[in-house]
Structure 1
Amino acid sequence: MSVSHSAHAVYGVVVAPPRQQEALDESLRAQAHRPASGNSADVRVQLFTVGDGEHIVLGAGYEHLGPSTYRAVPSLPASKGWDDALLEQVGNLGLTVLSGPCWHIVHDLG
């Protein structure tokens, strides 16, 4: 059995696992039905889970970090509307923020 690794820099918030995972999933799916407005303030929040769901990150931006690569964290851009979009999603769902909003390095095994 082979093991795969993935590593991303994710701009987001780490949240406590929600009591109602279905509500979180539905809220994130509903974003797909928004018409593309071209407005940079319309940020799509994505879900990143680490391990078996014990760590949940809601991300507004991310960058894949490939093998044998590096990035200086200060060089990672953050858009103006990301904090607002993340905190709105957290507030709408009554989630508890454990960390962020900031850049997180997410390394997972698959």
Structure 2
Amino acid sequence: MPVSHSVYAVYGVVVAPPGAAALDSALDTQSQRPGSGNPDDARVQLFTVGDEEHVILATGYVKLEPNEYRAAPSLTIGARWGATLREYVDNLGLLVHSGPCWFFVHDLS
């Protein structure tokens, strides 16, 4: 059985796991506009690590390819990303464990 690795730099907050299905439902209510390419046009996305052991709400991410590296200071943050995260966390009544900041997520599937 083949194993797939993905690595992401994710700007977001780690929240107490309320269940990914509940968050998926809440995030689906965001306006269904396509990405504008404007880094300040924040859209909240859900990342889970492990079997929902860690849940991250993120407004920005970068996929890192195999054998690629990035300097952490080169990862930019949109002006509205933090405010958008706080708004979602407050509206959903979530407990923030960490962030907002950049997290490195290794997905193994």
TM-score normalised by length of structure 1: 0.88
Is 1:61 the counterpart of 2:57? The answer is no
Q: Is the 8 A contact 1:16 1:95 kept in 2?
A: yes
Report what 1:13 is aligned to.
13
> If each structure's helix is expressed as a fraction of its own residues, which one has the higher value?
1
Runs of 4+ with >2 A deviation: 20-23, 32-42
**Structure 1 residues 8, 36: closer, same or farther in 2, change over 3 A?**
closer
Q: 2:30 aligns to what SS in structure 1?
A: helix
Name the CA distance, whole Å, in 1 between partners of 2:50 and 2:105: 10
- Deviation, 1:23, is 3.4
After superposition, residues 1-110 of structure 1 pair within 5 angstroms as 1-18=1-18, 21-33=20-32, 41-110=40-109
Name the CA distance, whole Å, in 2 between partners of 1:64 and 1:35: 19
Gaps of 5+ in 2: none
**Structure 1 residues 66, 41: closer, same or farther in 2, change over 3 A?**
closer
Q: Is the 8 A contact 1:23 1:93 kept in 2?
A: no
Gaps of 5+ in 1: none
TM-score normalised by length of structure 2: 0.89
Task: Give the fraction of aligned pairs with identical amino acids, expressed as a percent.
Answer: 61
Aligned length: 109
